[in-house]
Amino acid sequence: MGFDVIDSYVASAKRGAIVDCHYDPTMTREFSRQAFLRGALGAATAGALSVSCRSTATQGTDVPSETPVPTSRVPASPPNWASLGVQGRVTLPSNPEYATAKDVFNTRFDDSTPAAVVAVATIDDVRKAVAFAAEHGIPVAARSGGHSYIGASAANNAMVIDLRQLPGRIDYDESSGLVTVPAAAQLNSVQTSLAPYGRSIPTGSCPSVGAAGLTLGGGLGAAARRWGLTCDALVGASVVLPGDEAVTATPDDHADLFWALRGGGGGCVGVVTSLTFQTFPVTDRDVVTLTFGEGATAQVLAGWDQWLRAADRAVWGMVNVTVGPGSGGATVVLATEPGEGRSRAAELGVAVGLTPVDTAIRTLRHLDFVRYFEGGADATRPRAFVAGSDVIGDLTPAAGEAIVAATSAWPHSAGAATAVVESLSGAVSDIGAGDTAFPWRRQAACVQWYAEPPSQTAIDSATTWLTTAHQAVQANSVGGYVNYLEPDTPAARYFGDNLGRLTDVRRKYDPDGVMYSGLRY
């Protein structure tokens, strides 16, 4: 994933002190690494890195052993796919276009073998497909953007319902401030469509992530401290349930389903076909980058967290800790009100108790800000990566030291890796922990562990490191973020005390377990 992008940015920061400027197209790559990570691949996804790589022989084209394989519902004999009767396209393994039809963003799963890919053309197609899958005992994997970290939307033996060809448009209502978007609308399209109205919704940064995937898992991004998660802006969703019934879930209608859709993860109860959000007004923003030297990371993390918790909600921030050849130290990224970047940078330096090695400040108009964190065209290219997460309950100095220990364990022979630490303070904590399926409302931060190993051997090393990272922060971690899903992981890790209610909703709307999410309940 273009680690050279951040490295070149840091190098440019070292050449000069504070820089004030407006958007320049060349800047789109400078934060591509942070942007991809925070985006939410999947969320997609979320944070944010620029990334690269179609699968090659050196990147491991074999499906990893942890690839989701929902075999328990595979029928004894092949179904008659010709009887499905949809207007869209049904692509089977025998079709020459099968490999393309089932592609997902993480190329580690290029050799996945779904039973079929159904590119639906109407809502009725979705209903027929879900009913057909239920009748034949085939798990349903819905795909909006295809950014699942474990390739869940192309799971082996599943019917992939591909929503990307479903008709629909991004429809903004100026009188209400609401916007309705198709489930597979890409985040960049949503932001671009709303920009002429001076409005936005909270999103991650990866431009090609589908709206449904990001929303259903929560949706962390640079608007979170002021406006909350993506799922917090959700006011309604159209859903096709496993019984083939199409419903609209709102706080007043199918309220339990609506609760589950706000953070319960992709594929938790049905196939979402469209979503309606409350929008917020946009402003210009200052983007501040402060680079601290090696040995300061734990102190930076603890000071940054304490300062940001008390800061105005218009201030957002994350910390990137990059390890590998030529890397070291911590980079703090802030977004502030326009004109406040310099004073906020000074405040943070005092709170941390250290002078940054370098500081850079840029003022960007809203859409330029969005594009800046998207990382440019390179961010949309599929790539092989290993990633996971930990939610840190309290970012104490000891927790900071644990994160440092985790990153220090990275095998440099596997290339570079990044821990992206993103705050859960501000508006995220306005909502009760049990008021949505997303449970992490009283915790300090989400840490995303991310690497793009250059070979299969390096992928194996990175996978081992991910386990080591979890162990290093175990005493400080309360769970994980479901949009950064890891293979064969208990659902309890992602939903905490909300798991019981989420399980009840799943049993009510999907009693036969037709929907597949990659979670282990």
Helix H, strand E, coil C: the string for 190-231 is HHHHHHHHCEECCCCCCCCCEHHHHHHHCCCCCCHHHHCCCH
Predicted local distance difference test score (pLDDT) of residue 313: 97
Q: Is the pLDDT of residue 53 over 60?
A: no
Which residue type, as a one-letter code, is found at position 137? G
Report the CATH number that the domain containing residue 243 is assigned in CATH: 3.30.465.10
**pLDDT-derived band of residue 286, with 50, 70 and 90 as boundaries?**
very high
What whole-number distance in Å separates Cα of residue 270 and Cα of residue 293? 47
For residue 224, being part of any structural domain is answered with yes
Q: pLDDT tens for residues 288-317?
A: 999 999 899 999 999 999 999 999 999 999
Predicted local distance difference test score (pLDDT) of residue 8: 34
Predicted local distance difference test score (pLDDT) of residue 325: 86
Q: Is the pLDDT of residue 116 over 80?
A: yes
For residue 187, being part of any structural domain is answered with yes
Task: Tally the C-alpha atoms within 13 A of residue 407's C-alpha that lie toward its C-beta.
Answer: 29
Number of domains in the chain: 1
For residue 401, being part of any structural domain is answered with no
Q: Which structural domain, as residue segments, surrounds residue 219?
A: 171-281
If DSSP codes are grouped into helix, strand and coil, which group holds residue 462? helix
Report, as an integer, the average pLDDT of 364-368: 97
Q: pLDDT tens for residues 401-418?
A: 999 999 999 999 999 999
Report, as an integer, the average pLDDT of 105-117: 96
If DSSP codes are grouped into helix, strand and coil, which group holds residue 153? helix
Average pLDDT of the chain, as a whole number: 87
For residue 366, being part of any structural domain is answered with no
Are 405 and 471 spatial neighbours (Cβ–Cβ below 8 Å)?
Answer: no
Q: Is the pLDDT of residue 38 over 50?
A: no
For residue 399, being part of any structural domain is answered with no
Q: Is the pLDDT of residue 4 over 80?
A: no
**pLDDT-derived band of residue 243, with 50, 70 and 90 as boundaries?**
confident
Are 365 and 195 spatial neighbours (Cβ–Cβ below 8 Å)?
Answer: no
Q: Is the pLDDT of residue 56 over 80?
A: no
Predicted local distance difference test score (pLDDT) of residue 427: 98
For residue 252, being part of any structural domain is answered with yes
For residue 142, being part of any structural domain is answered with no
Q: pLDDT tens for residues 205-238?
A: 899 999 999 999 999 999 999 999 999 999 999 9
Report, as an integer, the average pLDDT of 352-358: 96
Q: Is the pLDDT of residue 115 over 70?
A: yes
Predicted local distance difference test score (pLDDT) of residue 29: 33
Are 217 and 211 spatial neighbours (Cβ–Cβ below 8 Å)?
Answer: no
Positive or negative, the CA dihedral 67, 96, 240, 81 is negative
Helix axes 397-408, 456-472, angle to 10 degrees: 160
Residue 499 CA, chain-centre distance (Å), reads 20
**pLDDT-derived band of residue 151, with 50, 70 and 90 as boundaries?**
very high
What whole-number distance in Å separates Cα of residue 389 and Cα of residue 210? 20
Per-residue tokens: 366 = 């809203």
Predicted local distance difference test score (pLDDT) of residue 78: 79
For residue 205, being part of any structural domain is answered with yes
Residue 223 CA, chain-centre distance (Å), reads 14
What b/e string do you get for 367-387 counting C-beta neighbours within 10 Å, with b at 16 or more? bbbbbbbbbbebbbbbbbbbb
Candidate from 26-35, 365-374, 393-402 with smallest mean pLDDT? 26-35
